[in-house]
Amino acid sequence: MASLSPYSPACSVSPSETAAINGERFLLTRPRYGISPSSLISSYTGDSLRSNPIPRISYVSHCGRRERPSTSVVASVAASVDESTEDVRLPRGDIWSIHKFGGTCVATSLRIQNVADIIVNDDSERKLVVVSAMSKVTDMMYNLINRAQSRDDSYVKALDKVFEKHKKTAVELLDGPDLVSFLSHLHDDVSNLKALLRAIYIAGHATESFSDFVVGHGELWSAQLLSLVVRKLGTDCNWMDTRDVIVVNPTSSNQVDPDILESERRLEKWFSNNPSKTVIATGFIASTPQNIPTTLKRDGSDFSAAIMGALFRASKVTIWTDVDGVYSADPRKVSEAVILSTLSYQEAWEMSYFGANVLHPRTIIPVMRHNIPIIIRNIFNLSAPGTKICQPKDDENGHGQKMESLVKGFATIDNLALVNVEGTGMAGVPGTASAIFSVVKDVGANVIMISQASSEHSVCFAVPEKEVKAVASALESRFSQALNAGRLSKVEVIPNCSILAAVGQKMASTPGVSASLFSALAKANINIRAIAQGCSEYNITVVLKREDCIRALRAVHSRFYLSKTTIAMGIIGPGLIGGALLNQLKDQVAVLKEVLNIDLRVMGISGSRTMVLSESGLDLSRWRELLKDGGEAADLGKFVQHVHGNHFIPNKVLVDCTADSDVASFYYDWLRKGIHVITPNKKANSGPLDQYLRLRALQRQSYTHYFYEATVGAGLPIISTLRGLLETGDKILRIEGIFSGTLSYIFNNFIGKRAFSEVVAEAKQAGYTEPDPRDDLSGTDVARKVIILARESGLKLQLSDIPVESLVPEPLRESATAEEFMKELPEFDRDMAKKREDAEVAGKVLRYVGVVDAIKKKGRVELRAYNVSHPFAQLSGSDNIIAFTTARYKEQPLIVRGPGAGAQVTAGGIFCDILRLASYLGAPS
Q: What are phi and psi of 855, to 5 degrees?
A: -70, -45
308, 329 Cβ separation under 8 angstroms: no
What gap in Å lies between CA 30 and CA 60, rounded to an integer? Answer: 8
593, 564 Cβ separation under 8 angstroms: yes
What gap in Å lies between CA 727 and CA 375, rounded to an integer? Answer: 54
How many angstroms separate the first and last alpha carbons of the chain?
70
**462 closest CA partner among 498, 426, 503:** 498
560, 407 Cβ separation under 8 angstroms: yes
The DSSP element (H or E) to which 623 belongs, if any, is helix 623-629
Q: Three-class SS string for 181-219? A: HHHHHHHHHHHHHHHHHHHHHHHCCCCHHHHHHHHCHHH
Distances, alpha carbon 697 to alpha carbons 655, 690, 701, 913, in Å: 20, 11, 6, 20
Strand pairing of 316-321 and 374-378? parallel
Looking from the CA of 810 toward its CB, the CA atoms found within 13 Å total 1
Helix (H, G, I), strand (E, B) or coil at 227: helix
283, 301 Cβ separation under 8 angstroms: yes
What gap in Å lies between CA 825 and CA 814, rounded to an integer? Answer: 13
Set 100, 408, 785, 844: catalytic member? 785
User: What is the DSSP code (8-state) at residue 651?
Assistant: E
Strand pairing of 387-390 and 632-633? unpaired
What gap in Å lies between CA 190 and CA 196, rounded to an integer? Answer: 10
780, 808 Cβ separation under 8 angstroms: no
What gap in Å lies between CA 424 and CA 481, rounded to an integer? Answer: 14
What gap in Å lies between CA 418 and CA 527, rounded to an integer? Answer: 15
Name the β-bridge partners of 502.
Answer: 410, 540
User: What is the DSSP code (8-state) at residue 543?
Assistant: E
Strand pairing of 879-886 and 732-738? antiparallel
What gap in Å lies between CA 496 and CA 862, rounded to an integer? Answer: 59
Helix (H, G, I), strand (E, B) or coil at 293: strand
Residues written for the chain: 925
785 a catalytic residue: yes
What gap in Å lies between CA 798 and CA 804, rounded to an integer? Answer: 13
Helix (H, G, I), strand (E, B) or coil at 125: coil
What gap in Å lies between CA 45 and CA 53, rounded to an integer? Answer: 14
Name the β-bridge partners of 532.
Answer: 541
Q: Which residues are catalytic?
A: 785
